[in-house]
């Protein structure tokens, strides 16, 4: 199965669905990730080019840990994706065509961060232009936990690898302990939603027809 992950920033993929992605790669699925921005505001004290270099190197390291294909970086403006939906969608189209995904992962639309919210309309616009209709689009949680979800993924076996991938984004962990936060959330999901030690949850998103 071909799977595409749309991540507004480097680290979103590892935090939101790193466990599910590792499960996919262990089953032999091909998983690609495209980063809409390179997260320059996560290193706002640096020039954009230097911030891009650091964060993209971290993303490549995380991708290797999870067994993903070589990532694509669109370098759209961090924080302002909602103001450039069509432009970002046009930039996404080549990656979407190359991946030909049967399943897509992206941030769920009720996420607080504006770039996370913009991911779904960007994908929908690009998919319409490409004529691509995946069988499933799953929304993952990053900053805003899902109030309702449709799928629970047991990530007990994946959790050590997921944490390694999250920690590969070292520049961001120096500012906020995302590894500790997501471990706690996944442990809570496992206890409440699945009866396992760790789990990720996803919202099945119906594409507009």
pLDDT at 209 over 80: no
3-state helix, strand, coil in the chain (%, to 5): 50, 20, 30
Tokens for 32, please give them: 């690609």
Edge-to-edge strand ranges of the sheet holding 103-107 = 72-76, 30-37, 2-7, 103-107, 136-140, 199-204, 151-154
Minimal CA–CA distance to 3: which of 22, 11, 16, 130? 22
pLDDT at 14 over 60: yes
pLDDT at 115 over 50: yes
* pLDDT value at residue 208: 45
* pLDDT value at residue 207: 55
Q: Which residues pair with 99 in a beta bridge?
A: none
What number is the average pLDDT over the span 198-202? Answer: 98
Helix (H) / strand (E) element for 6: namely strand 2-7
**pTM greater than 0.95:** yes
* pLDDT value at residue 25: 98
Q: What would the pLDDT profile of 154-176 be if each residue is shown by its tens digit?
A: 999 999 999 999 999 999 999 99
Tell how strand 30-37 and strand 2-7 pair up.
Answer: parallel
Tokens for 76, please give them: 């759209």
CA distance 50 to 18: 26
CA distance 31 to 103: 10
């Amino acid at each position: 199965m071909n799977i595409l992950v749309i991540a507004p920033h480097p680290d979103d993929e590892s935090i939101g669905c790193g466990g599910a992605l590792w499960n996919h790669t262990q089953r032999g699925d091909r998983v690609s990730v495209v980063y809409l921005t390179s997260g320059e505001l996560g290193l706002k004290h640096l020039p954009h080019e230097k911030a891009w270099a650091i964060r993209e190197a971290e993303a490549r390291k995380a991708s290797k840990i999870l067994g993903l294909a070589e990532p694509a970086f669109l370098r759209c403006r961090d924080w302002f994706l909602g103001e450039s939906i069509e432009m970002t969608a046009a930039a996404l189209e080549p990656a979407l065509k190359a991946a030909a995904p049967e399943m897509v992962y992206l941030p769920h639309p009720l996420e607080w961060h504006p770039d996370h919210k913009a991911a779904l309309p960007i994908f929908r616009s690009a998919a319409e232009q490409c004529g691509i209709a995946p069988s499933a689009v799953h929304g993952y949680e990053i900053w805003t936990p899902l109030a309702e979800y449709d799928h629970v993924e047991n990530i007990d076996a994946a959790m050590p690898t997921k944490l390694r991938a999250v920690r590969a984004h070292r520049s961001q962990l120096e500012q906020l302990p995302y590894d500790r936060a997501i471990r706690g959330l996944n442990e809570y999901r496992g206890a409440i939603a699945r009866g396992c030690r760790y789990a990720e949850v996803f919202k099945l998103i119906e594409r507009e027809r």
